[in-house]
Amino acid sequence: MKQIAVIGAGSWGTVLANVLADNGHDVTLWARKEEIANEINTFHRNHAYLVEAEFHPNLTASSSLEAVVKNKEVVLFVVPSHAMRDMLIKIKPYVRTDALLIHATKGFEQESWKRMSEVIAEELPEWHDKIVVLSGPSHAEEVIRRSPTTVVVASSCQDSAELTQTIFINSYFRVYTNPDVVGVEIGGALKNIIALATGLADGLGYGDNARAALMTRGLAEIARVGSAMGAEPITFVGLAGVGDLIGTCTSKHSRNWRAGYAISQGKSLSEVLSEMKMVVEGVKTTRAGHALKEKYNIEMPITEQLYAVLFQDKDPKLAVEDLMNRGKTRELQEMAQGW
């Protein structure tokens, strides 16, 4: 049994905390709002994020970072990417020197375009080679029902990856290890761009062929930029790549898919974001993907078109036309750039 702190009481943080509590660990969840902590402690519920779920009684919550993090053997970060650095700065004084650090955030830091483990390593350098990332096709709404789910945990430290696997794995939550931190983080983050694009295409009524095209050609983009950034290409055919693309681009649970769908129905990006109570990482990640494409001089046509739709008012139908009318391409030669 481990003493575990979970930072972030949104949908994913709460559900991961509940998996750990199911596994017999003593789990304390940090909630930004005191009323959410009180609701979890009193009613074992967090209705703002998970309407019907009732949590394991071993799961308690607090809005005091010090109380949550101090003396904990494991600290799990599940805040949106834009909040990661700020949270790290705040918890730094309380983290035990031998704590296992895990994050489950899918995104990049804005402007620096750093991966989340790079941000953690900058703020907590003693952990630079031991950080673990948890990713894969895992919608909170299904994990809370204990529906069979598979995820991957990546770390350059095999012991840390295996310890994370051991504390999370159970009969509904199967955990694989992978040493490729870069690939797992990039796959998990960039699939949100493709999920947004798929929501748009579905909303425009383009159908199954277009969705399959976006997912497959999206994977090629992810593999190309991922390889350039040092990922193992084979990771992208695993859970953090193909797995999460399928899970997100075909799911109505996906906030990214739903945001894309809403934009296809004529809503502006700011309307969509203000109506959605939960984080839509793919919007900021489209900016990151666009910047990475420039930095590594890589072709990412879907990312480029989505960027134009989201931030330059391009008509989504015209974006699809432009994708379809690109120059002729040789599939194998082009795919080989990523694999």
Ligand X SMILES: O=C(CO)COP(=O)(O)O
By CB under 6 A, the residues from 277 to 306 that bind ligand X are 281
Give the integer Cα–Cα distance in Å for 239 and 184. 8
User: Is 243 annotated among the ligand-binding residues?
Assistant: no
Residues 6+ apart with CB under 8 A from 128: 121
By CB under 6 A, the residues from 33 to 92 that bind ligand NAI are 49, 78-81, 83, 86-87
| Residue 106 near residue 189, CB atoms below 8 Å | yes
What number of CA atoms fall less than 13 Å from residue 313's CA on the CB side? 0
Taking the complex as a whole, the smallest distance from the CB of residue 143 to ligand NAI amounts, in Å, to 8
Q: Note the helical H segments in 23-103.
A: 34-43, 65-69, 84-91
Instruction: Determine if 178 is a binding residue for ligand X (CB under 6 A).
Output: no
Out of 25, 85, 103, 106, the residue judged to bind ligand X by CB under 6 A: 106
User: Residue 79 binds which entry of ligand NAI, ligand X, none, with Cβ cut-offs from 5 to 8 Å by kind?
Assistant: ligand NAI
191 is catalytic: yes
Taking the complex as a whole, the smallest distance from the CB of residue 277 to ligand X amounts, in Å, to 12
Q: What size, in residues, is the chain? A: 339
Give the integer Cα–Cα distance in Å for 156 and 122. 16
Pairing of strands 74-77, 3-7: parallel
Q: Which is nearer to ligand NAI, 90 or 314 (CB)?
A: 90
Q: Which is nearer to ligand NAI, 251 or 298 (CB)?
A: 251
Instruction: Determine if 115 is a binding residue for ligand X (CB under 6 A).
Output: no
Stretch that binds ligand NAI, among 57-65, 212-220, 278-286, 306-314 (CB under 6 A): 278-286
Taking the complex as a whole, the smallest distance from the CB of residue 307 to ligand X amounts, in Å, to 18
What number of CA atoms fall less than 13 Å from residue 292's CA on the CB side? 29
Give the integer Cα–Cα distance in Å for 280 and 272. 10
Which residues of the shown chain bind ligand NAI in the complex (CB under 6 A)? 8-13, 32, 49, 78-81, 83, 86-87, 104-107, 138-140, 278-279, 281
**Which residues are catalytically annotated?**
191
